Amino acid sequence: MPDAVKSFRSYKAEGHLWITLSTGEYYPDILPLACELYKPVLVTFGDLLKKAHSSTDLLMAISLVSEQWMRIQLARVFRKYVSPETPVEMLKKKRAAAQICEHFGPGFRAVTEVQKRFYERPIPDEALCAVLWEYKDRGKKGYDLTERLFILLREQFPELKLSGPERAGKDVLLGSIFENYTKPDRPIDFLICEGGEVLAVGLARYDSDRGGAQEDDRTGQYRDCASEVLSFARERGMNTKVIFLNDGPGLLLGSMWNDYAYLEELYPGRVMVTTLRMIPERLTLEWLKA
């Protein structure tokens, strides 16, 4: 890494000054809006529950709801009442209902018990509405981060081409960028290019809170990604770099900052870990082209 570029580790002592804080929402201020938004979900769930002769029958009825948003919210209520061990992502998939019933059905709470518990609660149930509200903007902070990243990079490097989803959207798969790429379905969040040359590929994540095993999981995934991309680039004589944009207060927790610093130091001059605020003084054209 060129001498002029400070390392990620060197910012640690004043790390709190270099992270981006997204604004949150106050409790119980959110309750009126949460109850208004999710009351129809609870009413619909109650109607389906009343007609269901078993918990598997209830899930199959939920899977037939045509409107995607309503179906996903109903599935979340189902998970809370009937099957907390069922993976959330599986419940979101309409076609996975039969498979869920087969794999997790034996552990479903009996429909009579679900009916008893559900009808003990008021409609709207403030507690459950507050829980569902937490899902509402999940991912929004990450979308805000990538949107701001694109704005910043366009101002800093108007001559370079940027690609990737600026908010919600499909990740870029490296198999669609590089011919015969090692792992074609490797997703990345953004590309920085000049002409036909890929100067850098990057991932962007916002961590509101992170610790324990989640730290190892994230940094392990990053190590695998960096090793894979850089090995491919080296074999083909490319100078492509890897940028990990990480931001949020989660960086200040546990060993996260040190783990990221170590990752950057494993690949000097080829990997950069940065927050949004560090980009103007760290991410230079010189580094990208070195």
* Mean pLDDT, the chain, whole residue set: 90
Q: 197-201, 208-212, 225-229, 242-246: lowest mean pLDDT where?
A: 208-212
Q: Give the C-alpha separation, 117 to 151, whole Å.
A: 49
Residue ranges per structural domain of the chain? 31-136, 139-289
Give the model confidence (pLDDT) of 149-203 as tens digits: 999 999 999 999 999 888 767 889 999 999 999 999 999 999 999 988 999 999 9
Question: Under CATH, what is the fold of the domain 139-289?
Answer: Trna Endonuclease; Chain: A, domain 1 (3.40.1350)
Q: Is the pLDDT of residue 213 over 80?
A: no
Q: What's residue 2's pLDDT? A: 45
To the nearest whole percent, how much of the chain has pLDDT over 70? 93
Residue 36 banded pLDDT, cuts 50, 70, 90: very high
Element (H or E) spanning 126, and its range? helix 126-136
Residue 11 banded pLDDT, cuts 50, 70, 90: very high
Q: Is the pLDDT of residue 93 over 90?
A: no
Q: Give the C-alpha separation, 276 to 149, whole Å.
A: 7
Q: Is the pLDDT of residue 125 over 90?
A: yes
Task: Compare 151 and 254 and report the one with higher pLDDT.
Answer: 151
Q: Which residues contact 102 (CB under 8 A, 6 or more apart)?
A: none
Q: Is the pLDDT of residue 215 over 60?
A: no
Closest among 171, 174, 179, 196 to 242, alpha carbons compared: 174
Q: Is the pLDDT of residue 1 over 70?
A: no
Q: Which residue has the tokens 């680039």?
A: 233
Q: Which residues contact 151 (CB under 8 A, 6 or more apart)?
A: none
Average pLDDT over residues 4-28: 87
Give the model confidence (pLDDT) of 127-143 as tens digits: 999 999 988 866 677 77
Q: Which residues contact 99 (CB under 8 A, 6 or more apart)?
A: 90
Q: Which residues contact 91 (CB under 8 A, 6 or more apart)?
A: 72, 75, 76, 78, 79, 100
To the nearest whole percent, how much of the chain has pLDDT over 90? 71
The structure tokens listed for 68 are 């995607």
Considering the entire predicted model, what is its pTM? 0.74
Q: Give the C-alpha separation, 78 to 58, whole Å.
A: 8
User: Which residue type occupies 273?
Assistant: V
